[in-house]
Amino acid sequence: MVEIWFAIAVVMIGGYVVLDGFDFGAGALHLFVARNDTERRQVLAAIGPYWDGNEVWLLASGGVLFLAFPKVLASGLSGFYFAIFLVLWALILRGIAIEFRSHVEAPLWRAAWDAVFGVVSLALPLLFGAALGNLVRGVPLSSDGWFTLALFTDFSARPPVGILDWYTIAAGAFAVVAIVAHGATFLVWKTDAAVQARSRRAAITLYAMVAILWPLLTLATWFVNRPMLTAAVSRPLSLLALLVAVAGLAAVAAGLRRHRELMSFAGSAAFILGILAATAASIFPVMLRAIPDEALSLTAYNASAGPGSLRAGMWWWPAGFALALVYLATLFALHRGKAAAARQGEGY
């Protein structure tokens, strides 16, 4: 049962990254691919039906951790207290920027909110990527399962560590490039004319960078968590997930080259899911790695809820997940085709 809930947590987090990732990427990119108000409203129209629903997957992921691995959630929320507040403020500002920009037609007003939207959309994958880097590198867990982190220490990735060091910054930078590239493939799929052409050029450049940075980040991971990479090449699920990621990259390249927009977006989603699944399969059962003493790590086994709670959760989670998938499929079906900028006075 513990293994099933670990897999469920990975599925929920992966779903959040793919879904909210494309509108993060579109937001970070929209100042560059949309040159006037009409084009920017086209970008907002493309993500408008999805962005607020996508954020619910973050809450659902937290709910899964609360049910199945409450010690991990409690320790993580406490240890990353400052970083989580930055994430919350960024999410709040992002929603405000989307909703407020069209309330006043003044160019300065809209330009200001467009800048806020772009900056926080860029900051969020940076923060989430750095958080994942912290989990891979490890945190200074005490014997009772708690930790505190300074913002930074000496940037060495060796104890005493902070939230930011050379490895977590590298992980955050890779996340930014990958998520913005993901958003570019979404805009290629959902927009047309000049915005689509610019988004295609951006997707080609950004995914070329992803293909270069991915092996470099893997090499960096060898220096901070060698057991993880050793496990990655010895576990079938990890190898399968890596193949999915590689196939996703190939689909992105083929889709962009052949102007098959949905193929490139689906490939981008597969790449992101593949690398997240490979990471999860490689670190299992560890959920919060302790450094320097790995014996203090919080794992899926020592940090899980009781068997009764896990069994009770299986009564409602499949039904809830099925409803979420039906909602998502319906949403994409209702808004199929290219997005068009709303007319003045019609919101986005």
The string of pLDDT tens digits covering residues 147-180 is 988 888 888 888 899 999 999 999 999 999 999 9
* Residue 186: both structure tokens together: 């979404």
Handedness of CA 156, 158, 164, 168 (dihedral sign): positive
The reported pLDDT for the residue numbered 66 is 95
10 Å CB burial of residue 288 (0-12, 13-18, 19+) is buried
Question: What is the pTM for the complete model shown?
Answer: 0.95
Q: CA-CA distance, 248 to 261, in Å (whole number)?
A: 13
* Type of residue at 151: L
Which residue, 279, 271, 291, is CA-closest to 231? 279
Mean pLDDT across the stretch 242-262? 96
Can you give the pLDDT at residue 104? Answer: 85
319: tokens are: 């039904």
Tell whether the torsion through CA atoms of 89, 10, 328 and 183 is positive or negative: positive
Range 49-53 average pLDDT:
90
Looking at the chain, which runs of residues are DSSP E strands? 150-152, 162-164, 286-288, 298-299
CA distances from 329 to 43, 57, 221, 332, 335 (A): 21, 15, 36, 5, 10
Residue 161 DSSP label: P
80-117 pLDDT, tens per residue? 988 899 999 999 999 999 989 888 888 899 999 999 99
pLDDT band at 348 (very low <50, low <70, confident <90, very high): low
Average pLDDT over residues 334-338: 90
Mean pLDDT on 27-44: 93
Mean pLDDT score of the chain: 93
Burial status of residue 81 (CB atoms within 10 A of its CB: 0-12, 13-18, 19 or more): exposed
pLDDT at 345: 57
Alpha carbon distance 171, 216 (integer Å): 10
Mean per-residue pLDDT for 51-69? 93
* Identity of residue 81: Y
22-28 average pLDDT score = 95
pLDDT band at 347 (very low <50, low <70, confident <90, very high): low
Task: Burial-class residue 332 by CB neighbours within 10 Å (0-12, 13-18, 19+).
Answer: exposed
